[in-house]
A and B are shown apart, each in its own frame.
Chain A
């Protein structure tokens, strides 16, 4: 594990740290009120933000609105970005996930007239990705590997992770949805996520 952590921290210093530096420069321009900086950010990350929103919402119009919201928020809050908590890309994707899931839930809950569980979960409180995830997340081929690893997971592990990540469901909600005991859901989720991590580690030289 020590070796893995070492590799995770120092590995892949090339392309991803370069693009992170570019992103931070763009964000500084945004913070100074330069719309060109936002354009540059959109050109680099608009596609992944839109794709994540589309995956969560399944509707192109909604995904466009979320993407628009994310970059509007980046424009307003560029000064609040903290590089210690993750890359600019991860920051944008966390915003995209949060907004898309909020919208998804609002859409899902209202027509059925269901009172939303008062479980206190607000997606505003979702943890940001960790700083060392930053360099990992940047490369597109990494995404392909993660997707394959996800597809290779046993059904229950994969669905538990997807419901949590893409729909923001709690473990209890997932257990209800899948008609599985809560303990089973917990162990499957953990197991599946550890396998994804292993898939990421394997790509390290």
Chain B
């Protein structure tokens, strides 16, 4: 320390004059950070070094120089305030300090980028959630529309001029079951049922409109806990007049043609 001081204190003047080379400068600044004596020395020597600018013979520049300078800036873009604020003149800062500053700024940008990334992810998640909610709302609206349409259609069946009534009787496997179908070629079929046995797992009731050609599936029927329910089915407009309506027990999802046991069956009668 003391040996370093004895050697480096002689560089104080050159340092104050700004003429140390890079290696000398680094060594001197390292010493400066720990030496109060040299720090005070540099302070005073800089004062003297700065005074040298005024020690030169003062000579007036030609008057035309002012006009040139003013002409130069009046055609130049005005100073950019933003860049001027951000970019600092680092002249005189030691190299390690400049690097440290860059590292700090770099770390800051990194942290900022990380935060922005987290924020973007968060916003994306929120957006997905919102989109999911919209999709749910859309689906619910569609479902409600269908329900409304069906209710309207069901009402339409009752008022249809061509409505036919088919009462169905429980068969051997479900003797207590009863059902009534109201069918209109234009408006479809309202099917009301009571006392059907509870469905075995993996099974579903399927309603058939039996025509002269073949049974046509009207749709699936899942009765409530009491074995009852009321369902509206659309039926093809070009369907042949039904000769019977039947309910069979079929595998879940239904089948194209009846395969299972008949639970209910009935034939049309005039209203």
Contact = CB atoms under 8 A, between A and B. Distances in A.
Instruction: Determine chain B's interface SS by DSSP, over half rule.
Output: helix
Contacts of A171: 11, 14, 19-20, 24
B16 interface: yes
A136 interface: yes
A3 interface: no
A31 interface: yes
A159 interface: no
Interface in A65-123: 67-68, 71-72, 75-82, 85-86, 90, 93-94, 96-98, 119-121, 123
Contact of A30 (B53, B54, B66, B79): B79
Interface in B76-114: 76, 78-79, 81, 83-85, 87-89, 91-92
Instruction: Determine chain A's interface SS by DSSP, over half rule.
Output: helix
A2 B46 CA distance: 17
A47 B56 CA distance: 11
B233 interface: no
A80 B58 contact: no
Contacts of A168: 18-19
Given A39-B66, A161-B17, A189-B17, A46 B61 contact: yes
Given A42-B66, A67-B61, A120 B84 contact: no
Contacts of A75: 73, 76, 79
B70 interface: yes
A58 B19 CA distance: 21
B15 A127 contact: yes
A60 B60 CA distance: 11
A187 B10 contact: yes
Interface in B107-152: none
Contacts of B17: 161, 164-165, 189, 193
Contacts of B43: 5, 130, 132
A177 interface: no
A98 to B, nearest CB: 8
A119 B50 contact: no
A17 interface: no
Interface string B25-41: 10000000000000010
B21 A119 contact: yes
Contacts of A21: none
A82 B89 contact: yes
Contact of B52 (A35, A60, A79, A161): A161
B79 A77 contact: yes
B243 interface: no
Contacts of B73: 35, 38, 71-72, 75
B49 interface: yes
A36 to B, nearest CB: 9
A128 interface: yes
B15 to A, nearest CB: 7
B244 interface: no
Most chain B CB within 10 A, of A46, A48, A170, A196, is at A196
A183 interface: yes
Contact of A126 (B18, B48, B54, B70): B18
B231 interface: no
A64 interface: yes
By Cβ-Cβ distance, the 9 closest A-B pairs, closest first, are A79-B84, A120-B22, A143-B54, A33-B78, A126-B18, A129-B50, A119-B21, A55-B56, A196-B48
5 contacts: A46-B66, A67-B69, A68-B68, A77-B84, A166-B52
Given A90-B53, A130-B46, A147-B55, 17 more contacts: A32-B81, A35-B70, A50-B60, A50-B65, A67-B61, A68-B65, A68-B69, A86-B50, A120-B22, A125-B18, A133-B46, A164-B13, A164-B14, A170-B19, A189-B17, A193-B13, A193-B45
